[in-house]
Structure 1
Amino acid sequence: MKNKTLFFLFSFLFLLETNAQCAMCRAVLESEEGQTAAEGINDGIVYLMAIPYILVGGIAYFIYKKYNTLKKQ
């Protein structure tokens, strides 16, 4: 259980440092002087990418807990 918690923690922390721009967005945003727009686009893409994984993980967790409680009875 400790290994799973540690793995989840590291996975979440590495998710925060990803660059998630497509090639077209990167080319347009790199030509800009200030990189604030590029950082904002990057954060939005990572946010939109993370939400489905969190939802699916939560559903899988509840199914796992329900399965284990039924198995113990």
Structure 2
Amino acid sequence: MISLFRATQSFAQCSICTKTAQQLGDGPARGFNTGILYLAFLPLGLIAFLGIRWWINERKSS
């Protein structure tokens, strides 16, 4: 769970994004990585939230 909040240490880039980040420099590349991780967090968080709600409802009905 802690690793989700260490966005600057992650390398969440495809090969095209890596080339773009290399051309931007160090500071903007870190922001680029952070932006990619923030965009990935919303759908993953939503899936986790729905899964937990489903699991709780299934436990109550059993």
Query: Identity rate of aligned residues, in percent?
Result: 25
Q: Distance in 1 between matches of 2:47 and 2:27?
A: 31
Q: TM-score when scaled to structure 2? A: 0.76
Deviations 1:5-45 (A, max 9, x none): xxxxxxx222333211222222232234x411101110000
Higher relative contact order (CA 8 A, sep 6+): 2
Q: Does 1:37 align with 2:10?
A: no
Structure 1 segments (4+ residues) deviating >4 Å: none
Higher helix share: 2
Secondary structure at the aligned position of 1:31 is classed as helix
- What is the total number of aligned residue pairs between the two structures? 59
Structure index of larger Rg: 1
Which sections of structure 2, spanning at least 5 residues, go unmatched? none
Q: TM-score when scaled to structure 1? A: 0.67
Secondary structure at the aligned position of 1:65 is classed as helix
